[in-house]
Chains A and B, each alone.
Chain A
């Protein structure tokens, strides 16, 4: 379930960006989340890999424009 996945991803974002009240939606981009810049993005990628026990490929990292793209990517890995 897509909405379940959004719920599971939310604490990873909240923890990574130190934003306990962050409410995610699929259309959100880096512009909408304070602190989501390229350096924090690397930590986010690592946190998502560790949390969901997956590994991203280089080509996949270039496809992440918004939160929804991340969910699609995680779904493609069976999460």
Chain B
């Protein structure tokens, strides 16, 4: 059947199938997904169909199914719900140090398994993730000319890198640096084979790279570290003076592996400026729909993204 469908209808069918699978166990969450995703345009469904197919291919190669990934995703959603309850009661994230998170998540294979698969589905099921991806595309397109050396730090499943490979036509090297073996393994599956890419298992604070970068991407990493100013400042050491950085990070986003609490977009801007950058272009996307005056009051998550340029002294 799906072979006869156009890409938009095929994508719509694939997304609907995922939402129906979610609804079997968590109808509350399925309701939100349906409301947010079905309101997106045809471009979303054109993206979603092939992406879900890639996820399915990846899972099949490991003896898993999409249903397994949905179960993992729902475990992650239960974690997020519980963390949110605790966050609203305390005003803090439950973990405040890397050591805590390492013991609780990164060093726990059972948690890591469902968490990685859950995060993978969130890339296609969370509307604010998709909107941020579009912002990344439009911003990178404007800056692509002249990029020879491209780096991504904490690349997760590798989707940003895969897209950059297609968009940065003159790119000579594309390096992903990630501290997690599981992330690197997943990225190497997801990013199409290309001799210009290199995957480096390393802590970015210890990593050294000879060539200075024209562009560095770091999606949703700053909330995972104790000192995001130091992290952004570390990126500066890899960057050419006329280079650019793209970052994303959420405010008020309790999760089992989030450490640093950004309370507002302004808080993120302060960290960016303290690390020695100016903001060229930015976007904030709320994760819930409600009247503007209620968004901050209810501590709704805002996904913030920005293109940065180093401040030259």
Residues of A within 8 A of B (CB): 29-31, 36-39, 41-42, 45-46, 49, 56-59, 61-62, 64-66
8 A-B pairs closest in CB distance: A62-B78, A58-B82, A30-B28, A29-B27, A38-B32, A61-B78, A30-B27, A41-B28
* Distance (whole angstroms) from the CB of A74 to the closest CB of chain B: 16
A-B contact count (CB 8 A): 60
Q: Cα distance A65–B25 when bound, in Å? A: 6
Q: Does B77 reach chain A (CB closer than 8 Å)?
A: yes
Question: When the two chains form their complex, are residues B89 and A30 in contact, meaning their CB atoms are under 8 A apart?
Answer: no
Docked complex: B17-31 residues within 8 A CB-CB of A: 25-31
Contact indicator B82/A61 (Cβ below 8 Å) = yes
CB-based contact A58/B27 at 8 Å: no
Expressed in whole angstroms, the minimum distance between the Cβ of A4 and any Cβ of chain B is 25
Interface string of B77-92 (1 = CB under 8 A from A): 1110110110011000
Pick the residue among A37, A42, A61, A62 that contacts B31 (CB under 8 A): A37
**A61 — which chain B residues lie within 8 A by C-beta?**
78, 81-82
For residue B288, which residue of chain A has the nearest CB? A39
Contact of A62 with B32 in the complex, beta carbons under 8 Å = no
Task: Give Cα distance in the complex from A34 to B288, angstroms.
Answer: 16
Set of chain B residues within 8 Å of A56, measured between Cβ atoms: 82, 85
23 contacts between A and B (CB under 8 A): A29-B28, A30-B28, A30-B30, A30-B31, A37-B31, A38-B28, A39-B300, A41-B81, A42-B88, A46-B85, A46-B88, A49-B85, A56-B82, A58-B79, A58-B81, A58-B82, A61-B78, A61-B82, A62-B26, A62-B78, A64-B28, A65-B25, A65-B26
